[in-house]
Amino acid sequence: MIKLVIPALAIIFAIATSAFTSLNTTDAKDGTTITGYIQTLNDPCKDIQVDCQYEGTVQCETEELIPVYDFNSHGTACNVPLFKIQS
């Protein structure tokens, strides 16, 4: 019985861990590339890698001038603006 329970718990733990680590929770104040989200017709929260940060004054945009967002605190929508890194 234990031989079945331990691998099952390991799989459940791995799935739960990956679900929580996939959330964009890192602090990018140092100007590292982060995951941002753009709103498209086919995908309302399409993920892209951007050089943006979570605080600032000028909203971050793609090269095509599409605004870049982060997920809200509930993880239900990508509507929190990201900002350009000011040098």
Average pLDDT, consecutive stretches of 10 residues, N- to C-terminus, the chain (87 residues): 57 52 47 88 94 94 95 93 89
Would you say the pTM of this structure is higher than 0.85? Answer: no
In a domain, 13, yes or no: no
Find out whether 70 and 38 touch, Cβ atoms under 8 Å. no
Find out whether 70 and 24 touch, Cβ atoms under 8 Å. yes
pLDDT confidence of residue 32? 75
Place of tokens 């100007």: 31
In a domain, 9, yes or no: no
In a domain, 47, yes or no: yes
In a domain, 12, yes or no: no
In a domain, 66, yes or no: yes
Outline where 1-87 has alpha helix (H). 2-21
Q: Which domain holds residue 52?
A: 26-84
How many separate domains does the chain show?
1
In a domain, 11, yes or no: no
